[in-house]
């Protein structure tokens, strides 16, 4: 017998799609349909239910972008359907590609309770398991007409400028939505569910997909092909329902063949990645969460084996606030072990840009929510989709009680394939966390044959390990698993030719994977940051969003510090509620598509408004506390929130001061330029406004390379191959314009002012040198109107630096300045927080900043034999997708060159630059609540405990990467002290500290983070 494999496979595809699938709901009657288009923003459910509905019918178009339409569907179950299972088929016309992206609806009963969601590949609604015949049926659908912004067809992405991301574009002058309808009603019916046909579809679906993934030389592929052929022969195409059972009988032997003993094991975890904002605004995510949770809890009723993880506490908090009845269902299913709060974080944040203390609070608020609401101590950091992972995270995870880490984004690397899928990740302090990258390379799995086969082929740790995890369910915009996915899982549990699939929890997977490695000699180790070789532009896109976050993080530090000080010193009530709310607002906006600058315009314009409101409220909290602390009097008190003494003002305290030691020195005209000289450094600015010399007068050394100029603004063409706001591709370096022409270079009395024009933009820079400081400050105002350009500021330094040192949360990382390996070369744009330092063993320089994160460092050997190490900071981008007006407008930002600095100096200057002194009328000095006698031990937070006991919490860390022995002294009688985890719970840590009188003697390992809970001796 001759076998024509292609013919048979084509036959299966057509018969399945055109005959068998339609037969699942073949017997149907149309529903009566009525519509109400919401004028403006979404309305409460009660208003939607009682709205004035008008007539509608299948074929009608509906829904301009971002609008909401409510549908009322009603009908009567025919008498002849008695005893049958009946569903409603509600196809609103959403695009069937990209099912987890933007378009969804939520179905309600007449009493306003949610039933389940509708999305492009989930259009069914349960009506009755066993009809009596003659029952009336009515349901309401809240349908969101969200545009599919990025996808035009399956596997086709578009990155062209689009106006659909702007909120104002779609609001007409009368407040009604404008624009053409996006969708067209396809089918709104009551239908009998033919269960046998439904199961036949699942049988053929699984076997067909498995067959395609097996080698044409594999006997198993031909065996499946033969079984499928026999089954298709058994089907009467004019009576699919009547012949489905016979077809299934012929497939049964193929489905009963067990997997090989050595088959790869897969733990399947139900999941719905819901971007807290991205190609939709925050308000839409609130609704997406309700839809997805309604979906999965309904699915749990029919599938007790189904388990689903929910990984962002913020989203559950929204659900509790806005849809308490859906939230109650989640809590109910949590008790059965099916709904699994996981992830341990408030949102899934960006972990490159988010500051250290903010990352602490992500864990604190996330874990505390799960504990208080679900009684669950989460042990996983579930972060599948963010753009790189800083090397402090393992220690933070351990201090939060997290044992396991999951992500998959490193699979997007464009240069190097990561060598492991299950491994120990070691942080900068030596902490290790057991980690897993799902080899399926997706967080939106469908459990398809292609995905399972890719998982097996791709798994990097074959031999010592044979177990991986697949998160399955439609996502990005949510939706979650479907009953079809659960059917695949059931059939793939033990099926020849496939990996073994078992639905279980993340904890079960990690415990089993860890035990497997322990039996086989232990897991491999990856030390240091997990650098994503992709999406490097996220360090720079949407400057205003990044500035709002940076400023908010520092304002929150100040608010907690001064409020705690005012409480301890004067008994002023501590603003617990205000700080809790403001922290959660800032944490929300650290989501990995908001803070990186990769959301639509709507999201970023809203974020800017939110940050402004946060700043106003925090400034009031800070001002109120400082006024109390400064007292009355005719003088002024200077407050220093930085962790290092400054100008005679103690760290974390305040002191009266009449002079201003950091006042800039006046520039002196020299030739066609100016000189700034404060006796420590001398800076020469030429007629072009460029720095031609930055001389360290103490060391007798020039910072700039011979013939080079500093603060050289450079403009690059910036048009990546795709993912515009996300990516900077390496070829951007091939096209550069040095901005050397100045419109004016003038003295302003205490600074040099330089004005330049280029393209449609204007930049004004003010260069100043504070008295006694090594920091040349460059205050920059840019009126930015470029398109697809990248603006950098370059400092070519006369140092032979083997590596750069960049601040990350709670420490720093060193990266090679050479490109010896492909791993080194791929790091052509890197993250640094407040500083980036380069130097030789006895001398160096740093660039500090107040709102920039993207940097690059290159090294060249000059003809004279010397080495130039060039540090550049990325200032602005002008990508056009997904926000065509990204970064357009006026921005003010600051950066500075610190001349003759080591890493300790850079750390101190970074804090000083971001925490400027505040001068308040009054006469009372403010002694710090705590002081530390070691410059390398940095106090990151001073606050009152969250349990409102009145105890003080101090979080500090060793910043140099060395061992540190220091003494912390309290400004109050100290009754007790103990170390805590991040949630302020006692920690068994006998070696890090010792209580002696009112002192705490500290012994810290390199980069150790230590949280201390201090209790004052009661007065009287």
Residues annotated as part of the active site: 385
Q: Edge to edge, what strands does the sheet with 999-1004 contain? A: 930-932, 964-970, 999-1004, 993-996
Residue 520: both structure tokens together: 């086989």
Q: Give the residue from 612, 814, 84 showing the smallest Cα distance to 604.
A: 612
Peptide bond into 998 cis (omega under 30): no
User: Quick one: tokens of 675?
Assistant: 């000189």
**Rounded to an integer, what is the distance from CA 936 to the centroid of its chain?**
30
What is the C-alpha to C-alpha distance for residues 810 and 804, in angstroms, rounded to an integer? 17
> How far, in Å, CA of 543 to CA of 892, rounded?
10
The answer to whether the Cα torsion of 800, 806, 807, 812 is positive or negative is negative
| Cross-strand pairs, 831 | 854
Q: Nearest CA to 683 among 660, 663, 709?
A: 709
H runs (alpha helix) in 280-338? 282-302, 313-322, 324-335
Pairing of strands 67-76, 32-37: antiparallel
- Dihedral, CA atoms, 419, 425, 427, 429, nearest 10 degrees? -120
Longest distance between any two alpha carbons in the chain, whole Å:
105
Question: Tokens 């059965």 sit at which residue?
Answer: 336
CB 976 within 8 A of CB 1020: no
Q: Which two tokens stand for residue 714?
A: 């450079």
DSSP string over 208-229: HHHHHHS-TT-HHHHHHHHHHH
Strand, helix or coil for residue 664: strand
Residues 6 or more apart whose CB falls under 8 angstroms from that of 266 comprise: 452, 455, 467, 468, 469, 470, 499, 500, 501, 502
DSSP state of 99: T
Calpha distance 804→801 (Å, rounded):
7
Q: At what angle do helices 324-335 and 313-322 cross, to 10 degrees?
A: 130
Residues 6+ apart with CB under 8 A from 235: 15, 19, 20, 243, 244, 246, 247
937-944/265-271 β-pairing: unpaired
C-alpha to C-alpha distance for 1001 and 981, rounded to whole angstroms: 19
Taking a C-beta distance cutoff of 8 angstroms, is the pair 611, 619 a contact? no
Name beta bridge partners: 672.
none
State which H helix or E strand residue 913 sits in: helix 903-914
């Amino acid at each position: 017998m001759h076998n024509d494999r292609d013919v048979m496979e084509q036959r299966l595809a057509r018969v399945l799609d055109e005959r068998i699938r339609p037969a699942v709901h073949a017997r149907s009657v149309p529903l009566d349909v009525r519509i109400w288009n919401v004028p403006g923003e979404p309305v409460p459910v009660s208003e939607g239910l009682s709205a004035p509905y008008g007539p509608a019918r299948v074929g009608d178009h509906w829904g301009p972008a971002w609008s909401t339409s409510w549908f009322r569907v009603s009908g009567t179950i025919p008498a002849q359907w008695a005893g049958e299972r009946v569903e409603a088929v509600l196809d609103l016309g959403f695009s069937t590609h990209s099912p987890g992206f933007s378009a969804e609806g939520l179905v309600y009963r007449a009493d306003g309770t949610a039933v389940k969601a509708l999305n492009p590949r989930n259009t069914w609604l349960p009506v009755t398991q066993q009809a009596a015949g003659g029952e009336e049926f009515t349901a309401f659908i809240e349908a969101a007409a969200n545009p599919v912004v990025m996808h035009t067809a399956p596997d086709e992405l578009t990155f062209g400028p689009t106006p659909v991301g702007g909120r104002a574009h779609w609001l007409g002058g009368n407040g009604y939505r404008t624009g053409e309808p996006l969708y067209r009603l396809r089918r709104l019916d009551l239908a009998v569910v033919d269960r046998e046909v439904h199961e036949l579809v699942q049988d053929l679906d699984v076997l067909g997909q498995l067959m395609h993934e097996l080698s044409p030389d594999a006997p198993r592929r031909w065996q499946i092909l033969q079984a499928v052929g026999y089954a298709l022969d058994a089907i009467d195409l004019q009576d699919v329902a009547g012949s489905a059972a016979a077809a299934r009988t012929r497939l049964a032997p193929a489905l009963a063949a067990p997997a090989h003993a050595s088959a790869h094991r897969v733990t399947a975890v139900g999941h719905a990645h819901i971007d807290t904002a991205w190609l939709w605004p925050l308000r839409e995510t609130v609704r997406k969460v309700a839809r997805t949770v309604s979906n999965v809890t309904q699915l749990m009723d029919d599938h007790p084996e189904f388990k689903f993880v929910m990984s962002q506490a913020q989203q559950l908090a929204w659900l509790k606030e806005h849809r308490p009845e859906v939230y109650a269902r989640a809590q109910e299913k949590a008790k059965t072990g099916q709904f699994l709060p996981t992830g341990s974080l408030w949102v899934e944040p960006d972990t490159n840009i988010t500051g250290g203390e903010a990352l602490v609070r992500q864990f604190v608020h996330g874990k505390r929510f799960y504990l208080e609401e679900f009684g669950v101590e989460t042990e996983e950091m579930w972060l599948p989709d963010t753009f790189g992972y800083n090397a402090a995270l393992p220690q933070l995870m351990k201090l939060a009680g997290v044992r396991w880490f999951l992500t998959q984004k490193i699979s997007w690397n464009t240069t190097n394939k990561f060598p492991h899928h299950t491994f120990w990740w070691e942080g900068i302090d030596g902490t290790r966390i057991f980690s897993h990258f799902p080899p399926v390379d997706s967080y939106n799995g469908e459990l398809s044959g292609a995905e399972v086969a890719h998982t097996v082929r791709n798994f990097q740790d074959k031999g010592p390990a044979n177990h991986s995890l697949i998160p399955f369910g439609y996502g990005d915009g949510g939706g979650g698993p479907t009953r079809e996915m659960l059917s695949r899982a059931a059939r793939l549990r033990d099926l020849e030719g496939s990996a073994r699939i078992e639905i279980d929890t993340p904890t079960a997977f990690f415990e089993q994977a860890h035990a497997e490695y322990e039996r086989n000699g232990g897991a491999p180790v990856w030390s240091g940051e997990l650098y994503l070789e992709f999406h490097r532009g996220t360090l720079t896109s949407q400057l205003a969003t990044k500035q709002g976050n940076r400023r908010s993080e520092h304002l929150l530090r100040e608010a907690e510090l001064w409020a705690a000080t005012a409480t301890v010193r004067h008994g002023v009530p501590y603003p617990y509620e205000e700080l809790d709310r403001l922290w959660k607002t800032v944490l929300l906006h650290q989501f990995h598509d908001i803070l990186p600058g990769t959301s639509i315009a709507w999201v970023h314009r809203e974020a800017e408004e939110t940050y402004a409101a946060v700043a106003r409220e925090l400034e009031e909290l800070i001002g109120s506390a400082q006024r109390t602390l400064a007292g009355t009097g005719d003088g002024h008190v200077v407050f220093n929130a930085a962790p290092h003494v400054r100008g005679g003002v103690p760290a974390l305290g305040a002191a009266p001061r009449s002079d201003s030691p950091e006042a800039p020195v006046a520039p002196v005209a020299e030739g066609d330029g100016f000189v700034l000289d404060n006796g420590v450094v001398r800076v020469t600015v030429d007629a072009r406004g460029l720095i031609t010399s930055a001389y360290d007068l103490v060391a007798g050394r020039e910072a700039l390379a011979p013939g080079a100029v500093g603060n050289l603004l450079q403009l690059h063409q910036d048009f990546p191959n795709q993912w515009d706001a996300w990516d900077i591709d390496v070829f951007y370096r091939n096209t550069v314009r040095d901005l050397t022409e100045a419109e004016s270079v003038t003295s302003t009395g205490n600074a040099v002012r330089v004005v330049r024009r280029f393209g449609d933009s204007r930049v004004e820079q003010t260069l100043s040198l504070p008295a006694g400081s090594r920091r040349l400050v460059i205050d920059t105002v840019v009126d930015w109107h470029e398109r697809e350009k990248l603006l950098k500021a370059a400092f070519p330094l006369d140092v032979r630096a083997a590596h750069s040192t960049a601040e990350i949360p709670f420490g720093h990382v060193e990266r090679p300045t050479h490109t010896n390996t492909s791993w080194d070369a791929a790091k052509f744009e890197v993250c640094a927080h407040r500083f980036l330092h380069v130097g030789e063993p006895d001398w160096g320089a740093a660039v500090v900043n107040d709102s920039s994160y993207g940097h690059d460092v290159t090294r060249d050997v000059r003809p004279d034999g010397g080495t130039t190490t060039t540090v550049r900071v990325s200032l602005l981008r002008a990508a056009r997708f997904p926000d065509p007006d990204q970064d357009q407008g006026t921005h003010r930002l600051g950066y500075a060159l610190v001349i003759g600095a080591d890493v300790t100096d850079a750390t101190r200057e970074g804090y000083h630059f971001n925490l400027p002194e505040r001068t308040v009328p009054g006469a009372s000095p403010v002694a710090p609540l705590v002081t530390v006698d070691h410059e390398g031990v940095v106090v990151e937070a001073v606050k009152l405990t969250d349990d409102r006991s009145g105890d003080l919490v101090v979080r500090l860390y060793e910043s140099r990467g060395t061992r540190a022995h220091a003494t912390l002294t309290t400004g109050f009688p100290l009754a007790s002290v103990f170390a805590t985890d991040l949630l302020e719970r006692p920690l068994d840590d006998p070696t890090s500290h010792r209580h002696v009188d009112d002192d705490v003697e500290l012994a810290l390992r390199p980069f150790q983070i230590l949280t201390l809970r201090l209790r004052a001796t009661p007065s009287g």
